[in-house]
Structure 1
Amino acid sequence: MHYCLRCHYALGPLPGVPADQLGEFTADVRCPECAFEIPQGARILVGSSTEAGAQPLTNRRRMRQILVTLAPSVFFLVAGIQGLVALVAQGVAGFTGWNAMRALSLVLFGFLIWAVWRKWTPVEGSNGRAPASWDTRWLCVPGALEVFSGE
C-alpha cells in the first residue's frame, strides 16, 4: 500500500498506483486530500535512516527530554535512597523485602539514566544530530531524489 508523502492518505485504489511496494507509478497520481502530485515513473521508498532522518539537538528539544526524564528519575532516586537508608539503619536483624525493593530502585535509576544517555547522545560524525526514531520517505523520480520529513 502506498501513502501520500505529505498527508499519509492511502493512495492504493487510485489509478496508476503500483500494486508492488517498490513498483513504479504508471500514471501521474494526485492525492485527493492535499493535491500532492506523484509523477509517472516515480517510486516511493520508505525506511529508517539515522543520517537522513536525524534532527538537530536544539536547546528546546534537550529541555523537553530532560523534563520527561526528570519525574521517573527523581522517583527512583528518592525511593532507592530511602530503601538503602532503611536497610542500613535496621541492620541485618531488621531486613525487610520492602526496603530491599526500594533500594533496588537505585539500579533502575542507573539504568534509566544510561538508556536516556544512549538514546539522546548525538551520533558520531553526524554534526551534533541525534538518531531518528521515525521513518524517512523518499520520492524517487528519474533524475532526482527528494527526502520528505513528513511536513
Structure 2
Amino acid sequence: MTGAENPTQRNRRRLEDAAARILAGNATVSDGKLTLKSLATEAGVPRNYLYRSEYVAIAEDFERRADALRQSEQTPDRREAQIQRLQADLGEATRLARRYREERENARAERNQAASQIVFLAEQNRLLREELEAERSVTRLDSASARNRALSPDSASR
C-alpha cells in the first residue's frame, strides 16, 4: 500500500479536520458543541475511537483548546457563524440578482431596437417591391413597336 492512506491515518486526518472546524465555529455535520461527542460526529467516526491510543492525543488537544475557548469566553457560536455565512450568501445572491436584472434590461433594450430595425427594413422592402412591380408593368413604346413589326406577317413579305 504505497501512497494510499491507511484507516488510522484517514481517521486521524478526519478528527483533526473536524476539530479545526468545530473550534472555528464552522461545524458542518455535528451540533458544533465543544464536546468529544460532537468531535466524533463531525469526523464521522465512532466516539469510542477517541479513547484509542492512536487518537487520544487528538482528543486531549481538542479538549484543551475547547477549555481555553470556554475560559476566554470566545466560544464559537454555531448559530452566529451560520448567520454570518447566510448573510454573506444573501449578499452574493443580491449582487447576482442585481446583475441579472441589468442583463435582462439590456437584452430587452436590444430586442426592442432590433424589432424597430426589422419593422423599418420590412417597410423599405415593401416599398422597393412596389417600385420594382411598377417598373415591370411599364412597356417601352420603341421596343414594343419594333417587336410588333418583326412579328407581323406583312413585314415578312416586304
TM-score (normalizing by structure 2) = 0.23
TM-score (normalizing by structure 1) = 0.24
More helix as a share of residues: 2
More strand as a share of residues: 1
Comparing both chains, which one has the higher relative contact order based on Cα–Cα distances under 8 Å and sequence gaps of 6 or more?
1
